[in-house]
Amino acid sequence: MKNSLRRKFIIFALIIIVPLATSNITAVFTNRKINDNYSIMLSKLNTINEIKNLLSESADNFNKYIQTNNGQCKNDYERYLDEALSKVNSLKEISDVESQYILRDLINTLYSYKAEGDKTIELYGNRGPIDTYYDHYVSAKEVQSYCNIYITNLTDSYISYNDSIYKNYEVKERNINKIIILYIVLALLISSLSTLFFIKNISLKLKQLVKASKKVANGDFELVEGENTGIYELDLLSEAFNSMTKDINIYISSIKRNAELERKVIDDEITILKYENALKLSQLKVLQSQINPHFLFNTLNCINQTAIKENAATTEELIKSVAGILRYSLTMMERNATLKEEIDLVKQYIFIQKVRYDDRVTFILDFKIDLSKVKVPGMTLQPFVENAFIHGIEPKEEGGNIGIFIYEEDEYTMVRIEDSGCGIDEETLTRISSEENSGEHIGHTTGMGIKSVINRLELLYDEKNLFSIESKKGLGTKIYLKIPKKELM
């Protein structure tokens, strides 16, 4: 079996605790036995005293009856005497021999007293001359006095017997106390010596480990030397430290060998990245050159003038809204906007969708705060509204409602965008809230993903958890945006 520190402590504790506990338990049981015997003695002495009093009451009523011929006195005489006999019989468990002999004589004497008393009462009841019952009356009185003598002798004998028992118990208790005190002194001495021995072995090995740890921290991978302590945990710790030191030394050597190779690889990767960035920049310029925003705005303006000449008011408004959305997306994508500017953009988008869907779509806008004082990244609200149209309202033949509610809550301006559309199942809802969804498009106008919009908002305010979503299949969707009330740099 391993000579572990835990095993040593358990054995040490058992050596100290078990004998001490045994002696204490013995002392407790001895004291309990003394208390029990003392209670029994008091109970029996009390019973003996009650017998004496009952006998006295019986004798008094016996005399009163002879003197007064009172029937109640006769009944009391018999009742007290019967109770005395009953209590005497309850004392038959007295253990010492001398008290048992006295008790036997007392019982016989009481029955003799009862016999003489009953005979006296019987002859007295026949109304004969006094000399017919006088001898029995005198005999009863004499026997009653003998009973008192036996009761006194029984009390003295029982007290003497219990006194000898208590003296024996006192001797035993003193011996037990001496043993406990001696053992406590020995236990303290042994525990002190053992503790010093343990502390010396443990502290010596720990000092060696601490010294070696400091050397390792300074780059000196020296092994821990010294004899085994005989304590399994400490010896195992020392071996593990030496093994770790060797492994670290080998690992550092390996790192040094690979460092040059890694630096060369990093230099090559940086060169490749520079080429890739240059290629992407060229591709971006090609894409930008494919659509000239000025040409597109001029074209939309030309179409707008034609619509005015043709008196096509709806077409005119549609072109203005499309041009406004395009201009906003190009100019506001990289800068911050106010909620008022965002709401104006959403209104233009809603106008286009109302023309498209006619009365299938109802738009609700509710706010009671100054929107011009709340800053958000450009193109924050429109992608969520467009998402509500595409995925919530458009698939429903009967259409539905889209609402934007802006209000204040604690240290935040809250924006709730809700629709009565198709809703989202649990799997899709989880995917939308996860990192996996960062590349999915919300709508068609900007091609921005939900994660992109959320990241821009969190980066602007340097705070997480500013977005949440609630939805159930067939019951619509609610989007919550929390905008902190604080000044932006």
**pLDDT tens string 309-325:** 666 677 777 777 777 77
Exposure on the CB side of residue 268, measured as CA atoms within 13 A: 6
DSSP assignment of 80-101, as one string? HHHHHHHHHHGGGG--SHHHHH
Distance CA 376, CA 373 (A): 10
Indicate if the pLDDT at residue 103 is higher than 70: yes
* Per-residue pLDDT, 291: 41
Q: What percent of the chain has pLDDT over 70?
A: 77
Over residues 40-55, mean pLDDT = 84
Choose between 189 and 6: higher pLDDT: 189
pLDDT-derived band at 107, boundaries 50, 70, 90: confident
Choose between 112 and 203: higher pLDDT: 112
Beta bridge mates, 409:
412
The 3 state secondary structure assigned to 395-410 is: CCCCCEEEEEEEEEEC
Distance CA 159, CA 280 (A): 116
Two tokens at 230?
A: 């005989």
Report pLDDT digits (tens) over 124-140: 877 767 777 888 888 88
Within 8 A by CB and 6+ apart from 243, the residues are: none
Choose between 413 and 250: higher pLDDT: 413
Over residues 201-211, mean pLDDT = 72
442 close to 386: Cβ distance less than 8 angstroms: yes
* Per-residue pLDDT, 294: 46
* Per-residue pLDDT, 230: 61
The whole model's pTM is what?
0.41
User: Whose structure tokens read 């233009």?
Assistant: 348
Residue type, 63: N
Over residues 290-301, mean pLDDT = 49
Over residues 64-92, mean pLDDT = 87
Distance CA 108, CA 150 (A): 11
Dihedral-angle region of residue 48 (phi above 0 means left; psi in -120 to 50 means alpha; beta otherwise) = alpha
Distance CA 14, CA 114 (A): 66
pLDDT-derived band at 3, boundaries 50, 70, 90: low
Task: Tell me which H or E stretch contains 131.
Answer: none
Report pLDDT digits (tens) over 224-238: 565 666 666 666 666
Indicate if the pLDDT at residue 12 is higher than 70: no
Report pLDDT digits (tens) over 426-481: 888 887 766 555 444 455 555 456 777 888 888 888 888 899 999 988 889 999 99
All structural domains of the chain with their residue ranges: 5-192, 336-484
Indicate if the pLDDT at residue 203 is higher than 80: no
- Sign for the pseudo-dihedral over CA of 399, 404, 409, 412: positive
Beta bridge mates, 408:
413
pLDDT-derived band at 295, boundaries 50, 70, 90: very low
Within 8 A by CB and 6+ apart from 177, the residues are: 27
Candidate from 289-293, 307-311, 329-333 with smallest mean pLDDT: 289-293
Q: What is the mean pLDDT of the chain?
A: 78
Two tokens at 132?
A: 């017919």
Other beta carbons less than 10 A from residue 25's beta carbon: 10
Two tokens at 280?
A: 């992407």
384 close to 442: Cβ distance less than 8 angstroms: yes
CATH topology for 5-192? de novo design (two linked rop proteins) (1.20.1440)
326 close to 296: Cβ distance less than 8 angstroms: yes
- The CATH classification of domain 336-484, taken from the options 3.30.565.10, 3.40.1130.10, 3.10.105.10, 3.40.50.1980: 3.30.565.10
Within 8 A by CB and 6+ apart from 249, the residues are: 221
50 close to 93: Cβ distance less than 8 angstroms: no
446 close to 329: Cβ distance less than 8 angstroms: yes
Report pLDDT digits (tens) over 440-453: 445 555 545 677 78
Over residues 52-73, mean pLDDT = 88
Two tokens at 263?
A: 């630096």
* Mutual angle of helices 313-332 and 293-309, in 10-degree steps: 160
Distance CA 334, CA 474 (A): 36
* Per-residue pLDDT, 343: 94
Choose between 340 and 325: higher pLDDT: 340
Query: By C-alpha distance, which of 364, 360, 313 is closest to 343?
Result: 364
Task: Classify burial at 378, counting beta carbons within 10 Å of its beta carbon; exposed 0-12, middle 13-18, buried 19 or more.
Answer: buried
Beta bridge mates, 417:
404, 479
Dihedral-angle region of residue 189 (phi above 0 means left; psi in -120 to 50 means alpha; beta otherwise) = alpha
Report pLDDT digits (tens) over 350-378: 988 888 777 788 899 999 899 998 998 88
Over residues 403-416, mean pLDDT = 94
Query: By C-alpha distance, which of 337, 334, 346 is closest to 376?
Result: 337
Residue type, 94: I
Q: How many angstroms from the chain centroid is the CA of residue 473?
A: 38
Within 8 A by CB and 6+ apart from 358, the residues are: none
Over residues 291-303, mean pLDDT = 52
User: Whose structure tokens read 């338990």?
Assistant: 25
